[in-house]
Amino acid sequence: MVEFEEYPGMIALKDKNWKAVIDDREINLDLVCEAIDMESATGEVKDEEYPILLTCSIMVDPKDMSSKYKKDVKESAGEFSLYDAYYYSGGVLADRALSGMEPVKKIPTRAECKVIENDGKDVWCKTEEDAITYAKDVYSEKAQALFGLIGFVLDNPVNRIGNTGWDIIEYQAEGTDYIRKALERWKERNAKN
């Protein structure tokens, strides 16, 4: 069953069944959804009636985050919470995967949002409250499929130096330096050539 943890402009969706495994260790994962007022953030919106962009990221649940990672977040933010961790490093982007999943039947929501085709499908909402409601109503349902395919989702690259979602999850769960890890993989590949 999905539980919700609300923060300013953000909601975390949590389910005890959402997990990944790294080195035989089960790691609980959360889906963090943020409502971004793009007009305030960038001065530009595609549709003035729908200025709020809903973004989602997969993050390690705070109880499974490494003490090193928590310490780094606390040193940066002054305290530690999932909210602080999200703004410290973010997570593995999942909004495109979620908005691209078509359920067998329509998921009802009272949120005033629309999906706009871009180089993927973006969810735009009238208000921050609509975005949070959409996350609760729609993404909480779609997330069941997302986390059922978590290995495939985390296999995808997250940047141009070769990191995958697994590296981000490992960074949060074990405190490993994922940039250094990508550079070491790059050196190994080039040494073989």
pLDDT band per the 50, 70, 90 thresholds, residue 119 = low
Most confident of 8-12, 95-99, 188-192: 8-12
Q: Domain map of the chain by residue range?
A: 3-192
Say if CB 128 and CB 52 are below 8 A apart. Answer: yes
> How does residue 62 score in pLDDT terms, banded at 50, 70 and 90?
very high
Distance CA 13, CA 89 (A): 18
Per the model's pLDDT, the better-predicted residue between 136 and 179 turns out to be: 136
Instruction: Let me know how many helices (H) and strands (E) the chain has, helices first.
Output: 9, 7
DSSP character string of 48-71: TT--EEEEEEEEE-GGGS-HHHHH
